[in-house]
Chains A and B, each alone.
Chain A
Amino acid sequence: SQQGEEDPQALSIQEGENATMNCSYKTSINNLQWYRQNSGRGLVHLILIRSNEREKHSGRLRVTLDTSKKSSSLLITASRAADTASYFCALISIQGAQKLVFGQGTRLTINP
Chain B
Amino acid sequence: DTGVSQDPRHKITKRGQNVTFRCDPISEHNRLYWYRQTLGQGPEFLTYFQNEAQLEKSRLLSDRFSAERPKGSFSTLEIQRTEQGDSAMYLCASSLAQIHPHEQFFGPGTRLTVL
Which residue numbers of A lie inside 8 Å of B, CB to CB?
3-4, 30-31, 33, 35, 40-45, 48, 88, 90, 92, 97-105
Flag the segment in B13-21, B74-82, B99-107 that touches A. Answer: B99-107
A10 to B41, CA, bound (A): 13
Q: Which residues of the other chain, B, contact A97 by a CB distance below 8 angstroms?
A: 56
Residues of A within 8 A of B101 (CB): 98
Chain A residue at minimal CB-CB distance from B50: A98
* Closest A residue, CB atoms, query B104: A100
Do A98 and B42 touch across chains, with their CB atoms under 8 A apart? no
Tell me whether B85 is interfacial, beta carbon within 8 Å. Answer: no
Q: Assuming the A-B contacts A99-B45, A102-B43, A105-B42, are A45 and B104 also in contact, with contact meaning beta carbons closer than 8 angstroms in the complex?
A: yes
CB distance from A51 to the nearest CB of B (A): 11
Q: Which of B29-86 contact A (CB under 8 A)?
A: 31, 33, 35, 40-45, 48, 55-56, 58
- Measured as residues with beta carbon below 8 angstroms from the partner, the interface class of chain B is 20 to 34
The reply to whether the CB of B26 lies closer than 8 angstroms to some CB of chain A is no
B48 near A98 with CB under 8 A, answer yes
- Least distance between B29 CB and chain A CB atoms (Å): 13
Q: How far is the CB of A41 from chain B (nearest CB, A)?
A: 6
- In-complex Cβ contact of B41 among A4, A31, A100, A104 (8 A): A104
* A88 / chain B contacts, CB cutoff of 8 Å: 42-43
B56 contact from A30, A33, A98, Cβ within 8 A: A98
Which A residue sits closest to B33, measured CB to CB?
A: A99
* Residue in A31, A45, A99, A102 whose CB lies within 8 Å of B42: A102
Known: A40-B111, A44-B2, A44-B106. A101 touches B45 (CB 8 A): yes
Closest 4 CB pairs of A and B: A102-B42, A99-B45, A42-B106, A43-B106
Q: Could you tell me the distance between the alpha carbons of A4 and B93 in the complex, rounded to whole angstroms?
A: 19
